[in-house]
A and B are shown apart, each in its own frame.
Chain A
Amino acid sequence: MTQPGSVGIVAPQRARFTEPLPLRSGGRLDEYELVYETYGQLNAARDNAVLVCHALSGSHHVAGTYADQPDNLGWWDNLIGPGKPLDTRKFFVIGVNNLGGCHGSSGPSALNPATGRRWGADFPFVTVEDWVDAQARLMDQLGIERLAAVVGGSLGGMQALSWTLQYPERVRHAAVIASAPKLSAQNIAFNEVARQAILTDPDFHSGHYYDHGVVPARGLKLARMVGHITYLSDDSMGEKFGRSLRHGKAVYSYDVEFEIESYLRYQGDKFAGFFDANTYLLTTKALDYYDPAFAHGGDLAQALAVASARFLVVSFTTDWRFAPERSREIVYALLHNQRAVSYAEIDCPAGHDSFLLDDPRYHGVLGAWFDRIEVR
């Protein structure tokens, strides 16, 4: 059953690219594929397309469900659909799995056409900028010269920001949500713990675990557990789990006792069951490397001078992974350049994960902002 306002049953599509893609790491992909989904109709003027960029664990499946998996709801389904803030009656919405991903686009777990074997650790490093380049080529294939908007949360917000810098003439509006202009040392530190968990798993086999018929599930689980801690706020974790004990009292064991332990293990196991460890490694590095101000001596305002899109920047008060201060850096850099920007700091208790929730103030602002976007 689909909810009222759902885009309903959707199906992924696949685009193939044979023009080599040069990468920031110095490497190159001679050919590659991207899987994507679309919702709504591209209008005759082709000016109503909105690209949704995914974060660390997201995919191209942004809204709706699959005919054979009715419970597999898109990760931003609460935002996208007829009558929802990103209204598919007005907009043509595109979700795409990034290069290096593990949901069908070319990545470490896909076959390397040059060898006929899975890429594994040989898949080149990809950056946010590389992703945006690949997304731009997908827009070329879809016949979309200029996006009405690009929107993303967290790492997706970095892509949205990068679009406005790499292709300023191709994006009219950008929504950068729960994001940052670069990671802090603390952010990188968390990513490094996650990576070490994977890299030191005996089943990792230098990234070629597919050839050994195993996956570094323990490492990936640990990585996800660390990540999950940072996505929630102290308050929301306290409210949800507190110090609740499964047996009502201490039983002096290393099995699950506190409910938070149960939650983290469950989330870790679930994630390790479907996500690819090499993709996790690549994606956390893409996060770490992103720093558009670096080439401008650290001057973010100078880096953002080329942007011409109208911006919406949103942060959440309890998000300590991508704190409001980081969003404000983007806002003030845009302001310095006299760019159109609005900034909302949403008082939501759920930490970084807030950007995936449907807080009415948050969705209200997004809906009002999308409403103002003109399409023919």
Chain B
Amino acid sequence: MIYRYDFDVIAQWIAPGERVLDLGCGDGSLLRHLMDARQVHGYGVENAPENLLACVKNGVNVIQIDMEKGLAGFEDGFFDHVIMSLSLQAIHNTVGILAEMLRVGREAVVSFPNFGYWRHRQSILNGRMPVSESLPHQWFNTPNVRFFTIADFDALCADNGIAVRERLAFDEGTLILEEPNFLASVAVYRLGRN
């Protein structure tokens, strides 16, 4: 299991015993962490068979659905937190899924790679698409379909009545307080409804 520094940030925002939904939960590592550290009632959502299998092996509740089609079976306000960790950039229906997260959850927690990170900008200036720790794929095999910056995401939230309750930004694990859109490779948001 690889260490993911956004897990610790997310765990800080989760109270013990909460109901948590993790969208695009991968092998279930975050949920496993939250179950062990916060005793959450956790459910993951995945659509990739290999990830589903990994979750079952990890003893994590996982539900196979295609998130692009929304979260129709989930009840309004059922979860305390709905998490999407480093998956938003791989979803086509960005606004739709954010609305669904805030429908079924009291708050949403979203982390994503910042396309505006200075190394990414430098790469583009040098004429090549960025490849980094937070954007590890080549342009031709990336699962990512949306490329956006922290500033872009702030604007999207403002336009859609989504309240940014907290935002932490990191440069490969180090907290960034100044100029995050330039200096941070990953951002983690805590979102609510306005």
Seen from chain A, the residues whose Cβ lies within 8 Å of a Cβ on chain B are 312, 328, 331-332, 335-336, 338, 340-347, 361, 364-365, 368-369, 371-372
Contacts and interface: CB of A to CB of B under 8 A. Distances in A.
Contacts of B63: 331, 335, 341-343
Interface residues of B, number: 20
B23 interface: no
Contacts of B75: 332, 336
B43 interface: yes
Contact of A368 (B56, B61, B74): B56
Contacts of A372: 56-57, 59
Contacts of B57: 368, 371-372
Contacts of A343: 62-65
B52 A344 contact: yes
A364 B73 contact: no
Interface of B: 19, 41, 43, 49, 52-53, 55-57, 59-65, 73-75, 78
A67 B6 CA distance: 60
Nearest to B44: A342
A346 B55 CA distance: 15
21 contacts: A328-B73, A331-B63, A331-B73, A332-B74, A332-B75, A335-B74, A335-B78, A341-B63, A342-B52, A342-B56, A342-B60, A343-B63, A344-B52, A344-B64, A345-B64, A345-B65, A346-B49, A365-B53, A365-B56, A368-B56, A369-B56
A230 B74 CA distance: 30
Nearest to B60: A342
Nearest to B59: A372
Nearest to B62: A342
Contacts of A347: 49
A369 B64 CA distance: 15
A371 B53 CA distance: 12
Given A343-B64, A344-B64, A338 B52 contact: no
